Structure formats: structure tokens, C-alpha cells
Amino acid sequence: MSRGIIGTLELEEYVSSGQVLCAGFRDVELMKEKKQRRFSPEFLAAIESAWLRHLQSNPHDYSGCMGSIVSFSLSEDKLTIKFREGSFAEFYATQAQRPEFLDVKSKCLDKEICLPLSFGAVAITRPSPLHPTGCIVFATRGETTFDEGRITLLPGGYFDPSKDYIRGEKGKIYSIKVTVLRELFEELCVSRYESIHFLGLVYNSQGSRQPLLALFLNLPFTAEELEKITGNTKEEEVKQIFFVDNDVFAVKEFLRGKKLAIHDAWKLLLFFQEDT
């Protein structure tokens, strides 16, 4: 990681809070683990008990499906991720048990924890006379998120094996690109992008402690066009959306006095490092 980019963005405090698990890939393949995982009765009972306690103060939360990373490997320029089906209840209940740093050589990363695969994008709008370099889409996190009030980048979200696939001749083909399109529509009210580029697989070593695929998207809209579209968004995880010039110094000025979510700091560092 370039010390120059870290210093320019003044994100030194975040460097020790994240771990780059893998970088240098152009595509991602998702494979569902074929063998059914068996967990101890004690583990399952602890999950149920923790989730029931959570529901007492959050009765509308839903323990949806999410893909938990079992292992990953890099071959040439493709990152292959093996996952099993987990749940938000399991993710929530095992938060305290997840390690500060992952042993990437482990053949079974999640063991009796949940390491849900998510993605986070640096989305770049098309250039316009007002914004000749395009803009990066930022937002303030809403009340239903882990980092309420912090600055994040849109879009982002969890890979959901029950939704994020296409039908092939031999069955389901799981795809993080389907996740990207789903979250684009949910958070920015658009359902297409011009191109996608993967920056790396990173791990948040504090707070929620979860893996994330960092990437950047080129959007087929100017900031002015997208601002009109997102005026209709009802996404409760987003309080306010901002369009900041795609320039390291403009981003630095925007972030001054604000707190970033850890994953989002690493997305920016990886993005501007690749851009230099």
C-alpha cells in the first residue's frame, strides 16, 4: 500500500484496522460447498439464544440468507471463493468470536463462525461539464447499519445465495455481479453499469469483522443525472447521498472531520492506489 496515498487522504488510523486478503484478480468465481456442514448442538443453541435476545429489541429484523466464506484461492487472474449458506442470525451471534486477523492459509476459514461475503464499490459517474473527472458516490449510513452516522460509499451489500445467481444448463451459477446489480437498484435506483473492476478482498479486523470484495464501477450516468434518480430512493440504510469529484484532494476535503467505515477507507486506498 502506497504511503503517499494513505498520507494524502489522511487515513493512517484505518491502516491497522484492515487486512488485504487477496489482490490482483480480474474476475471472481463463486462455488457453493457441496458437503453439508455439521455444527455442534452447543453452537446451534447459542445462535438461537443470541438471536432471540436480539429480536426483543429489534423485532422486525429478519435472519436472511448469506454466503459465508469457507475458502478462497487465486489462479492466474481469477479469485475462486467457496462458500456455504449461512444466516444473519449466525453472523450476528458469532461477531465476538471472529478473529482480529484471518489465517488465509486455513482450509476452512469460517469454522463455527460466519464470514459473510459482501462487496463494496467505488462508483464513478460519467464526466460532465460541472464534474469533468466524474464523481464518487458517498452516503451517510442510516440507523439500521453497524456504523450508523459514518460515511460509506455506494453501492454495497451482502451476497445472498438465495437470490444472487443465474440459471445455467447445469443449475445455478452464483455471481457477485448479480449482487452488485441488486444493490445498485436498491440503493441508487439504477440497474446497470458500464464496467466493473476488482480491487481486492479485504477484511475488517475491528467491529463487525467480515470479508469484503472491494471493486469500482463505471456508471453510465453523470452526477447530475444520478442525483435526480436517487431523489426517489427509499433505502433506509442510507440517510443522505453525496457526489464528490473523482479527485484525491476533493475526497480528502470532503472527508475532513468525518468518520469513515473501515471497509470504505480501504476501498478508497485501493482505488486511488490503482489509479496512480
Taking only the tens place, the pLDDT of each residue in 48-81 is: 998 999 888 888 888 889 999 999 999 989 999 9
How many angstroms separate the CA atoms of 87 and 8, rounded?
39
Confidence band, pLDDT 50/70/90 cuts, at residue 191: very high
Task: Say whether pLDDT at 3 is over 90.
Answer: no
The mean pLDDT value for 176-199 works out to: 95
Q: What are the C-alpha distances in Å from 233 to residues 84, 122, 226, 238, 254?
A: 32, 19, 11, 9, 23
The mean pLDDT value for 213-220 works out to: 97
Confidence band, pLDDT 50/70/90 cuts, at residue 232: low
22-36, 93-107, 166-180: least confidently modelled range: 93-107
Do residues 139 and 152 touch, judged by C-beta distance below 8 A? Answer: yes
Cell numbers for 177, please give them. Answer: 455481479
Task: Say whether pLDDT at 236 is over 80.
Answer: no
The mean pLDDT value for 155-183 works out to: 94
- Tell me the pTM: 0.92
Task: Say whether pLDDT at 144 is over 70.
Answer: no
Task: Say whether pLDDT at 83 is over 70.
Answer: yes
The mean pLDDT value for 86-95 works out to: 90
Q: What is the pLDDT of residue 171?
A: 87
The mean pLDDT value for 197-226 works out to: 94
Say which DSSP state 246 is in.
Answer: S
Q: What is the pLDDT of residue 234?
A: 56
Do residues 160 and 179 touch, judged by C-beta distance below 8 A? Answer: yes
Q: Where are the domains of the chain?
A: 14-275
Q: Does domain 14-275 have CATH number 3.60.15.10?
A: no
Which helix (H) or strand (E) segment holds residue 230: the answer is helix 223-230
Q: Which residues of 236-248 are buried (b: 16+ CB within 10 A; e: fewer)?
A: ebbeebbbbbbbb
The mean pLDDT value for 203-224 works out to: 93
Main-chain phi, psi angles of 71, to 5 degrees: -160, 165
Q: Is the peptide bond before 155 cis (omega within 30 degrees of 0)?
A: yes
